[in-house]
Amino acid sequence: MTRILYVDDEPDIREIAELALSLDAGLDVRTAASGAEALEIAGKWLPDLVLLDVMMPGMDGPTTLACLRENPATRELPVVFITARAQTQEMQSFAMLDARGVIAKPFDPMTLAAQARSFL
Amino acid sequence: MPIPASIARGPSNRTLTLAALLLIMLGLGSVHLLIRDEFADARKLREQAQRIVTTRTHLAELLALHLDAETGVRGFVLTGRDDFLGPYLDAAKRREPIFVALRGDQSQAALSSVDALQRLSDLKLANAAANVRDIRAGNPGGARRRVASGRGRELMDGIKAQVARLDAAEVAALRSLEQASESKRKSVERFVLLLLIGIAALLVAATVLLARSNAQRRAALWETRRGAEQERAMFNGAVDGMLLLDGRGRIVRANPSIERMFGYSAEELRGKSNMFLMAERFTEEQSQAWLARVGRAGIDGAGRRQEFLGQRADGSTFETEVAISRFGEEGDNRFVAAIRDITHRKRAERMKNEFVSTVSHELRTPLTSIGGSLALLAGGAVGQLDEKAARLVTIARNNCERLIRLINDLLDIEKIESGKMSFDMRKLSLGPLIQRTVNANRQFAHDLGVGLEVGLPPWPQCVNGDPDRIEQVLTNLVSNAIKFSPAGESVYVTTAQQGGRVRVEVCDRGSGVPEEFRDRIFSKFAQADSSDTRSRGGTGLGLAIVREIATRQGGSAGFEDREGGGSIFWFELPLLKEQPAIVPPEQCDLPLLLHLDDDLDCLSVVASAFAGRATLVSAGSMEEARKALAGEPGIRGCIVDVAMGSDSGLDLIPELRAAAPDLPVVLFTALDEDYPEAGADAVLVKSKTSLDALVETTMALVTRAARGPR
């Protein structure tokens, strides 16, 4: 099973993403409601891919990514940002942050799993 | 300020006044001539009168001499005393000079009368002389008989009568002279009177004209003064800061608003450069260049505006908007700068933008949930829905997507207006991008029963742009065209090149753009029919975004009616100048051809003609061609010009043949001649051959050569 961690502060979107990703029987999905929670789960669970919301209160997506990179256990972890309106400039800055890709919000839940798999 | 009509009439008044003065001068001139003539006539008259008087005096004298002589001779006859002979001797001596004088004064006609008088005088004196002789000879009887015969008296009467005739003639001449003089005097009098009347009339006219001209000047002066007062009132009373600048941009005057706005007094500002009030420091040259540029726009009433950061006397800065207008003659320009404090407006704009941004973002989050839930429901993620439920979920999904589109458009507009929209500019070929966008819209077109066709040229059309933004523009135009096309019709996407620009056209067969809507179709929230928003699912922002994005990339967007009904919506972008040098990845495997020509335009045109078919290595000289052949081992064919200044392309062919015997060589030359010995595979004359023929001939030779040796 491929392990995917979905991080978003919005519980509804978290739930939808979880449901959407679960449509792919080959994915094991867990969610986190904040950057801090994501760091904790990622450190222990070691997912194969992290889908990380950019705008979150407290620790935002880029900060969370930076923290993941500081931990030797999660340094190599593939991270894909989930963001509202993916602008070229933002995409470039995310690429510089060492993210593997960007998925634009609102995403299509029926194809989210396939999109996620394409980054693996 | 417009020139008062009275001033505009000024020159005609001046002309009239001048004409009147000229006429007066002419009148005075003719008076002078007349008086001169008159004086000459009077002198002549006086001379004639003088002559007449002299003649009459001579006649009277002559008569008196003869009377005295007769009396003397009678006394001598009676007394025999010699002293009585004095008058006779005197007459004999003096009459001759008198006759000479008389003759000199007389006309030819009158001379005969003088002659007759002299004859009588001669006879008279002869008669007297005979009497004297008789007395002296002691024959008083003979003398007395002669006296008694009455001959002497008779002669004397004859003299009297002749003198009276001559005198009468002189009197008559004098009278006619007087009459002529009188009539001349009267006519001169009349003429002078008329002339005086004329001059008086002219003087009156000139005076009236001058008075009118003065009145007009006074009126114009008053109007100018009033205009100046108005302008001063407007200048001083304006809420905006107003500066009057000289040609070099130095402050001549500043209004009270400027003083309030910047904290300087008008006196402190006088003579300073206008840039003194700006936070950014520019050189005087930059300031003048800017004034000239902005002023040029302003003179047409366009009033170009520019935003600046103003700096107050206390060093604090604030946002301003400056509009410049120019006035005065070329070379003596002055400028009026209107400066507006836009701090509040800018703050409001920022607040609005932040509000729009926040609201849009906050709206998107719940919409992601709603859209995601509906998509999962519709996709059967939680089990199959029955038909009615599926229909309702579809309706909800469509409207959710519409809301998302609206928010995206709002965000785009906000980004464009706040200058936050970034463009990732790169060199790109439009063809693949158009194809991709059209393919992405095929399903949508199919759902509405509308066909979707693309017509693109085989060569690449390369521009400098942001691919995502161009795709956004094209998606907007294509989806609009599909939405507004009736089922069964087709939307056609094509490109056209003109004057260094490429135009992407999206042609539909919709109902066209209503007349009253044409002006504002590219404005925000503009839709021809407000019900369109609902029926077509549009946001009314799409075309505003299209135009903004096209403009920001150096292009433009517009529309026109399509022949046969419908519209053509288009956007234009500047083509890259180095078009042929761009080889898109999909064309890397095209055959490489060498083109030798000293005409750089020809090189460029031919390279464009081969776009999509072959990649051309252009050489402008024999030297470049040799270098290219040495450096590019993969060259599959050559196009060679013959006459290139002092060189001939024909000289290159043996070298080509030596290196690669089977390399196709096409002579493409302006000289219409046969080249049997040249060893070329084809000879095409520039003026007789189309570029298509050149491409086809060359490509056929290249393909044949690629299949195997000849």
CB B589 within 8 A of CB B527: no
Q: What is the share, in percent, of chain B residues with pLDDT greater than 70?
A: 91
For residue B420, the cross-strand partners are none
> Is the domain of B411 the same as that of B437?
no
> Is the domain of B485 the same as that of B510?
yes
The CATH number given to whatever domain includes residue B491 is 3.30.565.10
The CATH number given to whatever domain includes residue B698 is 3.40.50.2300
Give yes or no for a cis peptide into A106 (omega within 30° of 0).
yes
Question: Last residue of a domain, which of B367, B391, B418?
Answer: B418
Amino acid at B67: L
Secondary structure (DSSP) of B67-89: HHHHHHHHHHHHH--GGGGHHHH
pLDDT of residue B607: 77
**Over 70: is that where the pLDDT of B708 sits?**
no
pLDDT, one tens digit per residue, over B76-121 is 888 888 888 899 899 888 989 998 888 887 777 678 888 888 999 9
Which region among B56-60, B336-340, B616-620 has the lowest average model confidence (pLDDT)? B616-620
Q: Considering only CB atoms, which chain A residues are within 8 Å of B404?
A: 106
Which one is predicted more confidently, B707 or B317?
Answer: B317
Nearest CA in chain B to A88: B424
pLDDT of residue B619: 79
Which region among A81-90, B17-26, B485-494, B607-616 has the lowest average model confidence (pLDDT)? A81-90
pLDDT of residue B570: 94
CA of A17 vs chain B CAs: smallest distance (Å): 8
Q: Considering only CB atoms, which chain A residues are within 8 Å of B373?
A: 12, 16
The ipTM estimated for the assembled molecules is 0.78
Task: Evaluate whether residue B232 is within a structural domain.
Answer: no
Nearest CA in chain B to A13: B369
Task: Evaluate whether residue B19 is within a structural domain.
Answer: no
Contact A13 B372 (CB under 8 A): yes
pLDDT, one tens digit per residue, over B249-284 is 889 999 999 999 999 999 999 998 888 888 887 777
Residues 468-507 of B with CB under 8 A from A: 468
- What pLDDT tens digit does each residue of chain A (120 aa) get? 899 999 999 889 999 999 999 989 899 999 999 999 999 999 999 999 999 998 888 898 989 999 999 999 999 999 999 887 555 555 656 666 788 888 888 888 888 999 899 888
Quick one: average pLDDT of B142-167?
87
Task: Give the residue among B145, B135, B153 at the shortest CA–CA distance from B81.
Answer: B135
pLDDT of residue B302: 44
Q: Considering only CB atoms, which chain A residues are within 8 Å of B368?
A: 10, 13, 16, 105-107
| Nearest-by-Cβ selection for A106 from B368, B411, B466 | B368
**Over 70: is that where the pLDDT of B45 sits?**
yes
| Nearest-by-Cβ selection for A89 from B372, B411, B422 | B422
List the single best residue of A13, A29, A82, A94 to mutate versus B (max B Cβ within 10 A). A13
pLDDT, one tens digit per residue, over B284-330 is 777 777 777 766 655 544 456 778 889 999 999 999 988 888 887 77
Quick one: average pLDDT of B329-357?
83
- Residue linked to tokens 């001779």: B73
Which region among A17-21, B221-225, B439-443, B521-525 has the lowest average model confidence (pLDDT)? B521-525
Contact B376 A105 (CB under 8 A): no
Helix (H) or strand (E) holding B63: helix B5-79
pLDDT, one tens digit per residue, over B574-604 is 988 765 444 444 444 678 888 888 876 677 6
CB B628 within 8 A of CB B652: no
pLDDT of residue B537: 57
Residue B189 forms contact with A (CB below 8 Å)? no
Nearest CA in chain A to B469: A88
> Is the domain of B554 the same as that of B603?
no
pLDDT of residue A100: 85
pLDDT of residue B318: 92
Residue B333 forms contact with A (CB below 8 Å)? no
Residues 403-422 of B with CB under 8 A from A: 404, 408, 411, 422
Task: Evaluate whether residue B269 is within a structural domain.
Answer: yes
CB B639 within 8 A of CB B625: no
**φ and ψ at B163, to 5 degrees?**
-65, -40
What length is written for chain A?
120
| Nearest-by-Cβ selection for B367 from A55, A87, A106 | A106
Q: Considering only CB atoms, which chain A residues are within 8 Å of B375?
A: 108-110
> Is the domain of B563 the same as that of B595?
no
The mean predicted confidence, pLDDT, of chain B is 83
- Encoding tokens for residue A101? 């890709």
| Nearest-by-Cβ selection for A88 from B369, B371, B468 | B468
- Residue linked to tokens 């609206």: B406
Contact B422 A16 (CB under 8 A): no
Question: Last residue of a domain, which of B287, B315, B341?
Answer: B341
Q: Considering only CB atoms, which chain A residues are within 8 Å of B380?
A: none
Contact B466 A13 (CB under 8 A): no
Nearest CA in chain A to B397: A108
CA of A105 vs chain B CAs: smallest distance (Å): 7
Q: What is the share, in percent, of chain B residues with pLDDT greater than 90?
A: 16
CB atoms < 10 A from the CB of B368, how many?
Answer: 24
Contact A19 B381 (CB under 8 A): yes
Alpha carbons A57 and A31: distance in angstroms, whole number: 16
> Is the domain of B692 the same as that of B599?
yes
- Encoding tokens for residue B365? 């989050």
Q: B409 is in which domain, residue-wise?
A: 347-418
Contact B424 A105 (CB under 8 A): no
CB B522 within 8 A of CB B544: yes
Question: Last residue of a domain, which of B390, B418, B446?
Answer: B418
Nearest CA in chain A to B400: A106
Task: Evaluate whether residue B612 is within a structural domain.
Answer: yes
Q: How many CA atoms lie within 13 A of B233 on its CB side?
A: 6
pLDDT of residue A4: 96
pLDDT of residue B301: 45
**Over 70: is that where the pLDDT of B6 sits?**
no
Helix (H) or strand (E) holding B501: strand B501-507
Contact A92 B424 (CB under 8 A): yes
**Over 50: is that where the pLDDT of B3 sits?**
no
> Is the domain of B71 the same as that of B169?
yes
CA dihedral B651, B656, B662, B664 (to 10 degrees): -60
pLDDT of residue B294: 65
pLDDT of residue B557: 92
Residues 126-165 of B with CB under 8 A from A: none
> Is the domain of B462 the same as that of B384?
no
Q: In what order do the strands lie in the sheet with B490-498?
A: B451-455, B490-498, B501-507, B567-574, B556-561
> Is the domain of B406 the same as that of B439?
no
CA of B580 vs chain A CAs: smallest distance (Å): 28
Contact A107 B368 (CB under 8 A): yes
- Encoding tokens for residue B511? 């109902």
Chain A positions touching chain B (beta carbons under 8 Å): 10, 12-13, 16-17, 19-20, 23, 55, 84-85, 87-89, 92, 105-110
Q: In what order do the strands lie in the sheet with B682-685?
A: B615-619, B592-596, B635-640, B665-669, B682-685
Number of domains in chain B: 5
Q: Considering only CB atoms, which chain A residues are within 8 Å of B424?
A: 88-89, 92
The CATH number given to whatever domain includes residue A57 is 3.40.50.2300
Contact B422 A109 (CB under 8 A): no
List the single best residue of B376, B399, B415 to mutate versus A (max A Cβ within 10 A). B376
Helix (H, G, I), strand (E, B) or coil at B386: coil
Nearest CA in chain B to A24: B381
pLDDT of residue A89: 55
pLDDT, one tens digit per residue, over B633-687 is 778 899 998 888 778 888 888 888 887 888 889 988 887 777 777 778 888 888 7
Residue B116 CB contacts under 8 Å (≥ 6 apart), including other chains: B162
The CATH number given to whatever domain includes residue B49 is 1.20.120.1730
Quick one: average pLDDT of B428-438?
84
Helix (H) or strand (E) holding B616: strand B615-619
What is the β-pairing status of strands B615-619 and B592-596? parallel
Contact A84 B369 (CB under 8 A): no
List the single best residue of A23, A88, A112 to mutate versus B (max B Cβ within 10 A). A88
Q: Considering only CB atoms, which chain A residues are within 8 Å of B362?
A: none
Alpha carbons B403 and A29: distance in angstroms, whole number: 30
Give the single-character DSSP code of B576: P
Report field, pTM of the whole predicted structure over 0.80? no
> Is the domain of B41 the same as that of B183?
yes
| Nearest-by-Cβ selection for B372 from A84, A88, A106 | A106
> Is the domain of B120 the same as that of B177?
yes
> Is the domain of B351 the same as that of B312?
no
Alpha carbons B276 and A20: distance in angstroms, whole number: 63
Residue B443 forms contact with A (CB below 8 Å)? no
pLDDT of residue B180: 83
Number of domains in chain A: 1
Q: Considering only CB atoms, which chain B residues are within 8 Å of A24?
A: none
CA of A87 vs chain B CAs: smallest distance (Å): 8
Which one is predicted more confidently, B557 or A55?
Answer: B557
Q: Considering only CB atoms, which chain A residues are within 8 Å of B381?
A: 19-20, 23, 109-110
